[in-house]
Chains A and B, each alone.
Chain A
């Protein structure tokens, strides 16, 4: 399986959520669906640009490789190893979100307090785990490099959007 598409999709979804988080806590109005949507789109746009960095890094690795096919295979293995922790994390977030929106307020609180809150804090750890996954899956230093760049890119979306648009309360 080629892990590029699911990784890109997860990266973009994460960027949209990062945009939301960059805005959340900055606007005390009650009705703010449009503002939430705008912040998510900002996160998505910033994420789309920043995620070019790992794509370009992977491109450079392939261009510089003596054996492109082999380098591609190694990157694909590393990408799959990178995807496993990220995928597990995405699943946990997806389940917590579904519980948050679908369940009555008490259980919804539970999914927020033991799910979505700690999961947000865990993002850097998940990125580190994904980099380790890339190595374990036989991706070598090239996958590690691409993974570190990708991880840095997704982790930068929230602080960037926050500083750029939401440095002060709306």
Chain B
């Protein structure tokens, strides 16, 4: 049975035009029922719709903004900003070393939602003054709200309506938090490929660590901290949909990119690791990045790490091949 997130089903944007598509409540309820999730179906059945059974777009926008505002609380409490800066700061140090100290760099957060990460980075100046901060999201209402919040606090960052697969903004580094699990099957590799094909020097995508504890922890934490049933539901489903280390590294193995995982399973305490990133860097950045990370660089591993202790659970042959290919690119 597929695990479906309600938020993916009730907000549908045409990826080409960016236009909002009408969504029939009955269709969503049926899909959730068919996926064996009657609780989610009940939540959607309770959402307001017009006489044509199309979900009220304004009500859906308000709901999504409310749920994302609650979601931000989790990011705040789990100190997601610091977790990212722990990796991004050395990454920018490595980039500065190669590109020159005076360069102007750009960080683009894909699927930025309400833009907490970008606004937090702007507010704290954690990455230094020469990094421009931009958030991109497919949901126009979230983009507008992120922009409003940034203006209200006079933060130096901006938000753009756009699609992760057709990125409107070039970047030095692409990042995301909690977005990877939305991309399934070939879409995950396409997501990384789009960035590898751009001028970006690196990507660094944080998502829920796929541990056995993740769904239990997500249930507990969302239950304790979030009020809306939609947020609680999707929070747990996200943890169930988290990609394994193998899947992430395999998908990030694209030409011209050295794929790396920070804090993979086995190298990290599952209680402490809520989100952790898959990185893709231009191969010449690896040594400076490891130097900048210092002792923490032992937490940064490539595909060869997964093969060393015996064949990984899936696709041992393709693993060795892709590991060798990325190793050859170094």
Cβ contact within 8 Å between A120 and B69: no
Taking residues whose C-beta sits less than 8 angstroms from the other chain, chain B's interface range is 35 or more
Given contacts A25-B227, A28-B114, A118-B220, contact A106 B273 (CB under 8 A): yes
Residues of B within 8 A of A26 (CB): 69-70
CB proximity to B under 8 Å, residues A85-140: 105-110, 112-114, 116-118, 120-121
**In the complex, what distance in Å separates the CA atom of A31 from the CA atom of B271?**
28
Residues of A within 8 A of B77 (CB): 112, 116
Q: Pick the contact of A113 from B70, B145, B271 — CB < 8 Å?
A: B271
Cβ contact within 8 Å between A113 and B217: yes
**In the complex, what distance in Å separates the CA atom of A25 from the CA atom of B79?**
15
Cβ contact within 8 Å between A114 and B271: yes
Number of A-B contacts (CB under 8 A): 74
Task: Name the prevailing secondary structure of the A interface residues.
Answer: helix
Given contacts A109-B78, A120-B224, A169-B66, contact A28 B116 (CB under 8 A): yes
Cβ contact within 8 Å between A110 and B220: no
**In the complex, what distance in Å separates the CA atom of A12 from the CA atom of B120?**
32
Cβ contact within 8 Å between B69 and A110: no
Taking residues whose C-beta sits less than 8 angstroms from the other chain, chain A's interface range is 20 to 34
Cβ contact within 8 Å between B149 and A113: no
Contact with B along A74-89 (1 / 0, CB 8 A): 0000000000000000
Residues of B within 8 A of A114 (CB): 271
Q: Within 8 Å of chain A (Cβ to Cβ): is B269?
A: yes
Contact with A along B63-94 (1 / 0, CB 8 A): 00110111011000111001100100000000
Cβ contact within 8 Å between B225 and A110: no
Residues of B within 8 A of A121 (CB): 220, 223-224
Residues of B within 8 A of A105 (CB): 79, 82-83, 86
Cβ contact within 8 Å between B224 and A117: yes
List, sorted by A's number, 14 A–B pairs whose CB atoms are closer than 8 Å.
Answer: A25-B73, A25-B227, A26-B69, A28-B68, A30-B119, A109-B78, A109-B79, A109-B273, A112-B77, A113-B221, A113-B274, A118-B220, A121-B224, A169-B69
| Known A24-B73, A25-B227, A110-B269; 20 more pairs at CB < 8 Å | A24-B225, A25-B69, A28-B116, A29-B153, A31-B153, A105-B82, A105-B83, A105-B86, A107-B272, A109-B78, A109-B79, A109-B272, A112-B77, A112-B221, A113-B78, A113-B217, A113-B271, A114-B271, A117-B224, A169-B69
